[in-house]
Structure 1
Amino acid sequence: MAERPPEASTERFDELPMRVGLGQFMQPTRERLRYISQLGVEHVLLNMYATPLLSDTEVPLTGEKEWAFDELVQLRNRVEDAGLRLNAIENIPISFYDDVMLGGPGRDEQLEHVKNTIRNMGRAGIPVLGYHWSPSGVWRTSTSRRVRGGAESTGLDAAELENAPLSHGREYTEEELWKNYERFLEAVLPVAEEADVTLALHPNDPPLERVAGMPFLFRDFESFRRAMELVPSENHGLEFCLGTWAEMGEDLFEAIEHFGGRDELVYVHFRNVEGTIPSFTETFIDEGDYDPYAILEALDEAGFSGMMIPDHVPRLEGDDDWKDRGRAYTVGYMKGMLRGIR
């Protein structure tokens, strides 16, 4: 059995330096955890929202409405027993809080379950919960676009979504979703503060105004500023997805300076893209529209000290379903950049 990292028992996550981690998977198998350790990575994030963009299909937690303390402890220990640290869980299942997002009849009951999950994460020693506000999930119009050397990647052409049927039976308004979102923050942020758990908001992906009758609130700089100011809390920040922000066409450096200066960047998804809304293609970290080294320097200058993970990566020749080769390439690139600024 590998030894645990020396800092595991002595340093809090908010005391650690900026570092490269790995995520985009749900099942922390022994083989995958060993592979992560072999890449020189000590920190992981587990995704708990099933999507075709992930390799896993089953969540390693059995709760149908909330997650139990004992299973969360076992999950953290499974990671730590492999010599790694579990930095965050990303995304509770949409079914845990769809009525919360949409103002449905089960809203109040679901809110109590979400609060219980946050309490149990805190008791289990898992410090961060990433979440989204997107009842209809992630959208792509292609998962087989060709990038460098014929590698496969994903992309979107918004024109192909114009005839999408309503995802939830009717058109929803932005006012409805903002009202429901404020109610959510008012209910859960005090619980997160008590539990010492930080919530991290992911952009809508893709950052379109609306898809299939559902508004996508978190698609630009102003919407995130509004989210952070709506119910101020030191336990609330951003799951800063560079690819989605680049798709918005926003100034990444302005966003890093603003939110980083307020200590609101919790962790970072490194994903590069070519193009902005309404059409983009995800590509290799070194081939997209922004300079990843300049971004890393900006994060460092803003005082960011969280985890950075490869996000969606192209599928290389010989890759498994998790795209292990594509992730290894991105990890090496990120670790090299990080060494360069130190």
Structure 2
Amino acid sequence: MILSFLFFGNTPDEKWQLCRQMGIEHAIAKLAPELTGDIAIDNYESLARSKAIFESNGFKLTGVEGDQFDMSRIKLGLDGRQGDIERYCRMLENMGKLGIGLLCYNFMATGWYRTDIDLPERGGAVVSGFSMKKAKTEPVSSHGTFSESQIWENYHWFIEQIMPVAEANGVKMALHPDDPPISPLHGISRILTSADAIRKALSFSDSSSHGLTFCQGTYTTMNEDVFGLIHEFGRQKKIFFVHIRDVRGTPEDFRETFHDNGPTDMFKMMKAYREIEFEGPLRSDHVPTMAGESNDHFGYEMKGNLFGIGYIKGLMDAL
């Protein structure tokens, strides 16, 4: 198991120094233009520049995460998606040339979403949460409404287009489940909301590059057997990347919590990753905002990550 950290952009700051001090050597990065001030990474020179920045600061750029440019036309099947998929394939080719072997992606047209961002947690920390009751009062997306069958069709098309390119370039495509795992949201259906849906997605390609970001917290929110799924997908060698966090509640009404303050037996889960001989990257995910922090980047402020990373390192050492 390789402990990593998610960096937004490529500008070194205090977080970079803290990660080095914690012994983290592997970076996962979102390198969208609005975060880097550079052009999108379907341009080779742009991606090469980012990789060089991470390397010069002591990190191996192990993978990229999230939408690196606007994916809405691909996810919703809109006019212009063919040009976007060509850009996506160029990005995969660039990753292969530069030895960046992991892409954590999702197929959420409206992204990960929370109705609340400042729910009280232990000791006055604040966390994010989701209420389907509140979400139903919010307006429909500007894109309109889309059925689950439409999104499934778009996802199948996406896999057919990109998976041969990913495999040819040695890039592992790690599918993140929908968060929250409910459908629809703001009029747009979400399809990757259960273990059965993930099994269906995996059936679309037998490529060695077709696998999962096992977001432990999302599977917990689904009320799935997380321990069993680690072994199931692990036996299939389909877990490429792991996100570790904990939540309380149901798909329709849940809240984040500290890694040590939820329903999950975290040591049991870490043992499961070892039992399946998982050797890929993992990272702390969606942490509480703690004393003195702004909550401008809820879920990703640094003090909660310091706690999460230390907790995960302790679990790893205990193994």
TM over 0.5: yes
Aligned-pair CA distance for 1:141: 0.9
What CA distance in whole angstroms lies between the structure 2 residues aligned with 1:233 and 1:244?
24
Aligned partners of 2:113 and 2:180 also within 8 Å = yes
Question: In the alignment, is residue 258 of structure 1 matched against residue 220 of structure 2?
Answer: no
Question: In the alignment, is residue 116 of structure 1 matched against residue 82 of structure 2?
Answer: no
Question: In the alignment, is residue 59 of structure 1 matched against residue 42 of structure 2?
Answer: no
Question: In the alignment, is residue 272 of structure 1 matched against residue 246 of structure 2?
Answer: yes
What CA distance in whole angstroms lies between the structure 2 residues aligned with 1:132 and 1:42?
25
Aligned partners of 1:319 and 1:326 also within 8 Å = no
Question: In the alignment, is residue 334 of structure 1 matched against residue 312 of structure 2?
Answer: yes
Q: CA RMSD in A?
A: 1.7
Aligned partners of 1:102 and 1:180 also within 8 Å = yes
Question: In the alignment, is residue 79 of structure 1 matched against residue 79 of structure 2?
Answer: no
Q: Deviations over 1:163-193 (max 9, x none)?
A: 2222144321111111111111111011011
Question: In the alignment, is residue 32 of structure 1 matched against residue 32 of structure 2?
Answer: no
Q: Return the structure number with greater relative CO, CA threshold 8 A, min gap 6.
A: 1
What CA distance in whole angstroms lies between the structure 1 residues aligned with 2:51 and 2:15?
15
What CA distance in whole angstroms lies between the structure 1 residues aligned with 2:318 and 2:243?
19
SS in 2 for 1:281: strand
SS in 2 for 1:275: strand
Aligned-pair CA distance for 1:21: 1.4
Give 1:102's aligned residue: 76
Matches within 5 A, 1:234-249: 234-249=208-223
State the identity %: 31
Question: In the alignment, is residue 163 of structure 1 matched against residue 141 of structure 2?
Answer: no
Give 1:132's aligned residue: 106
SS in 2 for 1:188: helix
The code of the aligned residue for 2:158 comes to F
Aligned-pair CA distance for 1:126: 1.1
What CA distance in whole angstroms lies between the structure 2 residues aligned with 1:102 and 1:307?
30
What CA distance in whole angstroms lies between the structure 2 residues aligned with 1:206 and 1:328?
25
What CA distance in whole angstroms lies between the structure 2 residues aligned with 1:335 and 1:166?
42
Aligned-pair CA distance for 1:61: 5.7
Q: Deviations over 1:188-218 (max 9, x none)?
A: 0110111111111111111002111111111
What CA distance in whole angstroms lies between the structure 1 residues aligned with 2:102 and 2:37?
17
What CA distance in whole angstroms lies between the structure 2 residues aligned with 1:25 and 1:311?
13
Aligned partners of 2:10 and 2:50 also within 8 Å = no
Question: In the alignment, is residue 44 of structure 1 matched against residue 27 of structure 2?
Answer: yes
The code of the aligned residue for 2:38 comes to T
What CA distance in whole angstroms lies between the structure 2 residues aligned with 1:274 and 1:180?
32
SS in 1 for 2:52: helix
What CA distance in whole angstroms lies between the structure 1 residues aligned with 2:305 and 2:73?
35
Q: Which runs of 5+ in 2 are unaligned?
A: none
Q: Which runs of 5+ in 1 are unaligned?
A: 1-17, 50-56
Aligned-pair CA distance for 1:265: 0.6
User: Given the alignment, which residue of 65, 69, 79 partners 2:44?
Assistant: 69
After superposition, the Cα gap between the structure-2 partners of 1:169 and 1:81, relative to the gap in structure 1 and judged at 3 Å, is closer
Give 1:313's aligned residue: 287
Give the structure-1-normalised TM-score: 0.88
Aligned-pair CA distance for 1:231: 1.5
After superposition, the Cα gap between the structure-2 partners of 1:93 and 1:81, relative to the gap in structure 1 and judged at 3 Å, is closer
| Structure 1 consecutive aligned stretches of length 4 or more whose deviation exceeds 6 Å | none
Give 1:325's aligned residue: 303
What CA distance in whole angstroms lies between the structure 1 residues aligned with 2:104 and 2:303?
25
